[in-house]
Structure 1
Amino acid sequence: MSESTTDRQVVAEDIETELQRFLETRTKTTWAADTDLFADGGMSSLFAMELVVHIEQTFSIAIEGPDLRIDNFRTMNDMTALVLRLAKADASE
């Protein structure tokens, strides 16, 4: 049985570390947590959708509807906040 988000505490540092690892692997660039990935050329809309799938699978969350706005994916800080918020919502259900 795999460990789900509701079975463990999701920690901001762990989320940021995983996002940094994924982004570095895919873009061959190290990004600061507050860098606007779209403005600085690190992210295209197609890559953003790949990132959404990665985040959903890695953190056992569903990103749907209004949460799919581009502003939730501009920076690693934005993505970390989104994962924390959705994981907390899942845990309270």
Structure 2
Amino acid sequence: MTHEETRDRVRAFLAPQVAGQPLADSDDIFALGYVNSLFAMQLALFLEQEFGLSLGPEDMNFDNFRTVDGLVRLVTSKAAV
């Protein structure tokens, strides 16, 4: 899967949370108030199911979940292993 395909799937998952608001890939979705810490667990579950990943404690760094770029980076780094 390419970076763009991963980015598109992540953005599609986030779309209902941002309710049509413009969102750059580097925007902090938590600081902007689109999501909360509980949603981070939903994000982790989505990544595991959508991309067939197994996330461990070392992957639960908040920086991995606060931006589209971070989510894509996490998926591609785990998929490369």
Which residue is equivalent to 2:70?
78
Report the CA distance shift for 1:22/1:38 in structure 2 as closer, same or farther (over 3 A).
same
Correspondences of 1:1-93 after superposition (within 5 Å): 10-30=1-21, 31-89=23-81
- Alpha-carbon distance in structure 2 between the residues aligned to 1:87 and 1:35: 23
Shift of 1:66: 1.2
TM-score (norm 2): 0.90
8 Å CA contact 1:34, 1:76 repeated in 2: yes
Task: Mark the structure with the bigger radius of gyration.
Answer: 1
8 Å CA contact 2:17, 2:34 repeated in 1: no
Pairwise CA RMSD of aligned residues? 1.1
- Alpha-carbon distance in structure 2 between the residues aligned to 1:12 and 1:28: 23
Shift of 1:42: 1.5
Shift of 1:46: 0.6
TM-score (norm 1): 0.80
Stretches (4+) displaced over 4 A: none
Deviations 1:38-65 (A, max 9, x none): 1111121111101110111000001111
Gapped runs of 5+ residues in structure 1? 1-9
8 Å CA contact 1:23, 1:29 repeated in 2: no
